[in-house]
Chain A
Amino acid sequence: MFLKSKPMWGKKTKLKTSYDMVIIGGGLHSLATAYFLAKEHGITDIAIIEKNYIGFGGAGRNTAIVRANQRTQYNVPLYKEALDLWPVLTKDLDYNLMFNNCGNLNLMHSEAAMKAARMTIATAQFHGVESHLIDAKEAKELVPALNISEDITFPIHGAMFHPPGGVVRHDAVVWGLARGAAKKGVEIHQQTEALDIGTQNGRVASVTTNRGKINTKQVLISAGGYSAALIYDMMGIKLPISVLTIQAMVTQPLKPVLDHVVSSGAYHCYANQTLKGEIATGAHMDPWPNYTTLNTAHYIKHQAEALSEFLPCLRGVRFMRIWGGLADMTPDMAPIMDGNEQVEGFFMDCGWGYFGFKSCSAVGKYMAQFMATDQCPDMLKPFALNRYQEHRLMGETAALVNYSPDN
């Protein structure tokens, strides 16, 4: 696939010995950052280097859900902007990203959960994000397939309804951004592995790859689940990250039954119906750090049990495919974006766990601004690495079941 075919985003170029900026990792955050660097800051002498192929990692393994119903005042505006950018990018990239804002329905199974949802909704509404609390009957009206009987393990009390969320075709975002960036002059080098980052007088000077050394003054590591290992390996910086495998699966295609993204914390399960008719579902993580993307019968069984309780029409439906990806989890379920702090010219964008997809558009825009101006934009300031040292952990965990092995 790498030898003869011509990439759809343009001609293959030779790796030069020097670039203004080097971005390690060929995922969505890297592609978006490069795209916005070229589009909004006129910086085009950029090499994206990717060990495998673009979209190999989380970019092609996530379940394509987008939403802005996070818990804290720092996260919500970022995700809101990301959500607002999908139609804009569809137009600017001239690429159909298949944004389907079908709405997210986050099921609540207890009075305590309803109370937590009220707080999350208040935050959302304060930041201009549409989000409502609805009762079980209203949830049933929105999604008739829901089982709202009392006779299940976790009866449904109500739901947090977030109409602007939905689904975006993740591969289309990879291809659209790659083409958009390449058209403006950004070079994408697949099958190119970063081996080391060289520094000189306390600043970044070069990146060594398996295809030779590149001189550069600025480097960004945004390599998804592999970031933490790379950053420790190349820069000696330890991060508060645990890399876990997250699994997802799809059923055989069905006639339309589900026109919302439905998720449940208590059942540890979310589901939506793809345009092909499959029910895409997931949520589970094996709670020990590892770099495999293997699957477990344990979770196939769990998923089947959960779905057949709250969406009983799916009983007997077969799973067709299952896959795994890596999620780099932080203790506060919020990402780490930092730059020029540990070493001048070194930037990182990691710790995205399983929310890297829904944030990529806005993060690309702000990381580009950060790298182009050397000034951290206000939007990204709360996400600096030193928050852990200063005990300013974010409260994102309040809204979520805890997946972290640190707890």
Chain B
Amino acid sequence: MALTITCPICGKRNGYEFKFGGEEKGPRPDEKDLTPEAWCEYVHMNKCVAGVQEEWWFHKDGCGSWFKIHRDTTTNLEKEVKDENRVQKAKSGGQK
């Protein structure tokens, strides 16, 4: 199946150059008062959305940046969502 991913630095590339980095789950939970439930939720649990989801990718065979995209899991097509700071975020290691 064809998959192309748009890297903020390198542009649109073949999906096999990238590694999937998981669903977007928000910031890592604070270690203070962290419960097993909350940690498990962050580490393991997925929504497995059949539709558009926000997710992380790593350009392993390219510039090495971490970034987020929106993709429709039923068609494997990216969905463009405007984010002016996309390049900036990718350059700083995917931090918000």
Q: A288 contacts which of B20, B36, B74, B75 (Cβ < 8 Å)?
A: B20
**Chain B residue with Cβ nearest A389:** B40
Report whether B47 and A232 are in contact in the complex, using a CB–CB cutoff of 8 Å: yes
Report whether B36 and A289 are in contact in the complex, using a CB–CB cutoff of 8 Å: no
- The distance in angstroms between the C-alpha atoms of A391 and B37, with both chains bound, is 11
Proximity bits, A341-363, B CB within 8 Å = 1, else 0: 00000000000000000000000
- The distance in angstroms between the C-alpha atoms of A405 and B50, with both chains bound, is 17
Proximity bits, B44-76, A CB within 8 Å = 1, else 0: 111111100000000000000000000001111
Report whether B36 and A292 are in contact in the complex, using a CB–CB cutoff of 8 Å: no
Proximity bits, A243-256, B CB within 8 Å = 1, else 0: 10100000000000
| B1 partner residues in chain A, CB cutoff 8 A | 245, 286, 290, 292, 294-296, 324
- The distance in angstroms between the C-alpha atoms of A289 and B37, with both chains bound, is 24
Proximity bits, B1-36, A CB within 8 Å = 1, else 0: 111000000000001100111100000000000001
| B74 partner residues in chain A, CB cutoff 8 A | 290-292
Contacts A292-B75, A389-B37, A389-B40 given; indicate if A287 touches B19 (C-beta within 8 A). Answer: yes
Q: How many residues of A contact B (CB 8 A)?
A: 31
- The distance in angstroms between the C-alpha atoms of A331 and B22, with both chains bound, is 12
Contacts A288-B20, A388-B40 given; indicate if A240 touches B46 (C-beta within 8 A). Answer: yes
Chain A nearest CB from B95 CB (Å) reads: 21
Instruction: Say whether A235 faces chain B, with CB atoms less than 8 Å apart.
Output: no
Report whether A287 and B46 are in contact in the complex, using a CB–CB cutoff of 8 Å: no
- The distance in angstroms between the C-alpha atoms of A405 and B46, with both chains bound, is 12
- The distance in angstroms between the C-alpha atoms of A402 and B73, with both chains bound, is 22
Chain A nearest CB from B79 CB (Å) reads: 14
Report whether A228 and B46 are in contact in the complex, using a CB–CB cutoff of 8 Å: yes
Chain B nearest CB from A361 CB (Å) reads: 27
Contacts A292-B75, A405-B22 given; indicate if A242 touches B44 (C-beta within 8 A). Answer: no
Chain A nearest CB from B20 CB (Å) reads: 4
Q: A292 contacts which of B20, B45, B46, B76 (Cβ < 8 Å)?
A: B76
Chain A nearest CB from B73 CB (Å) reads: 5
| A324 partner residues in chain B, CB cutoff 8 A | 1
Report whether A241 and B20 are in contact in the complex, using a CB–CB cutoff of 8 Å: no
**Chain B residue with Cβ nearest A296:** B1
Instruction: Say whether A399 faces chain B, with CB atoms less than 8 Å apart.
Output: no
Instruction: Say whether A4 faces chain B, with CB atoms less than 8 Å apart.
Output: no
Report whether A232 and B20 are in contact in the complex, using a CB–CB cutoff of 8 Å: no
**Which 9 interchain pairs have the tightest Cβ spacing?**
A294-B1, A240-B44, A238-B45, A228-B48, A288-B20, A389-B40, A405-B20, A229-B50, A290-B73
Give 8 A-B pairs besides A240-B46, A388-B40 with Cβ atoms closer than 8 angstroms: A228-B46, A239-B48, A242-B48, A243-B48, A286-B3, A289-B46, A291-B73, A405-B20
Can you list 28 contacts pairing A with B, beta carbon distance less than 8 Å?
Answer: A228-B46, A229-B47, A229-B48, A229-B50, A232-B47, A238-B45, A239-B46, A241-B46, A241-B48, A242-B46, A286-B3, A288-B15, A289-B20, A290-B1, A290-B76, A292-B1, A292-B76, A294-B1, A294-B76, A295-B1, A298-B16, A328-B48, A331-B44, A388-B44, A388-B45, A389-B36, A389-B40, A405-B19
Task: List chain A positions with a Cβ less than 8 A from chain B.
Answer: 226, 228-229, 232, 238-243, 245, 286-292, 294-296, 298, 324, 328, 331, 388-391, 405-406
